[in-house]
């Protein structure tokens, strides 16, 4: 128990240090700038996918992921300065945020053929229609929004509330652009897939087809 108490004290001290810099006025802005830059890199990565012979374009995606994680940390950690880490609220909503993050990572890197998705060229390929991609066409939008929602609920504060709205809006716009402009040019059967699965909000029918695809 003493080790847990010491670890909590170290984490709180680190959060208070970040909180000091937040009060200087630049930390929150930098976090939002990093997140905006991250989505810009995601769009750049997607545009390069349309060009054959760009096997290293996936580096833009992974760099964007790092920037988004850094921006999230700069916004979340200072908000933890006055939080009771062992409270039911923090533990419960943090657990839900972690589950949402795991689902996001699974949807992006394990439910898809990662090598073809992030390291491949611009050749047409069929859509993945099983599991979370039978649930909706953009499950990442759903999980990312839940992740930031639960982060905000775990500690509260206007900064994380704003981050939830802003990051979710950015991701929704990004997914809409992918859905209308990019994916019909990357996937041979995407127009048919639009009729198969909803955009990002699951329906009773898509939930049933998601579980049915996992059983086979």
* 131-147 per-position pLDDT tens digit: 999 999 999 999 999 99
Which of 152, 159, 157 has the alpha carbon at shortest distance from 28? 159
pLDDT surpasses 90 at 30: no
Separation of alpha carbons 49 and 172, rounded Å: 20
66 vs 24 pLDDT, higher one: 66
Residue 5 has pLDDT above 60, yes or no: no
What's the total number of domains in the chain? 1
Model pLDDT for residues 184-212, shown as the tens digit of each residue: 998 989 999 999 999 999 999 999 999 99
As a whole-number percent, the residues of the chain with pLDDT over 70 amount to 81
Q: DSSP string spanning 40-87?
A: HHHHHHHHHHTSTT-TTTHHHHHHHHHHHHHHHHHHHHHHTTT--TTS
Lookup: tokens for 202: 């699951």
Whose CA is closest to 147, among 209, 106, 103?
Answer: 103
Model confidence at 51: pLDDT above 60: yes
Per-residue pLDDT tens digits for 149-187: 999 999 998 999 999 999 999 999 999 999 999 999 989
pLDDT at 25 > cutoff 90? no
pLDDT at 55 over 70: no
What pLDDT is stored for residue 197 in this prediction? 95
Q: Which pTM value belongs to this model?
A: 0.86
Residues of the domain holding 34: 2-215
Residue 168 belongs to domain with CATH number: 1.20.120
């Amino acid at each position: 128990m003493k080790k847990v108490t010491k670890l909590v004290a170290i984490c709180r001290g680190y959060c208070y240090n970040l909180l000091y810099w937040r009060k200087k006025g630049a930390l929150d802005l930098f976090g939002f700038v990093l997140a905006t830059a991250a989505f810009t890199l995601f769009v750049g990565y997607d545009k390069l996918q349309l060009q054959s012979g760009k096997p290293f374009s996936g580096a833009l995606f992974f760099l964007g992921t790092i920037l988004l994680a850094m921006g999230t940390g700069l916004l979340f950690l200072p908000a933890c300065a006055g939080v009771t880490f062992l409270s039911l609220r923090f533990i419960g909503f943090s657990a839900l945020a972690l589950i949402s993050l795991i689902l996001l990572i699974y949807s992006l890197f394990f439910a898809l053929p990662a090598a073809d998705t992030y390291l491949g060229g611009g050749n047409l390929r069929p859509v993945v229609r099983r599991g979370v991609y039978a649930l909706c066409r953009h499950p990442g939008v759903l999980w990312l929004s839940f992740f930031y929602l639960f982060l905000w609920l775990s500690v509260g504060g206007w900064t994380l509330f704003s981050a939830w709205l802003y990051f979710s809006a950015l991701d929704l716009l990004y997914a809409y652009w992918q859905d209308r402009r990019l994916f019909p040019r990357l996937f041979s059967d995407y127009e048919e897939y639009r009729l198969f699965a909803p955009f990002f909000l699951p329906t009773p029918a898509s939930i049933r087809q998601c579980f049915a695809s996992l059983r086979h």
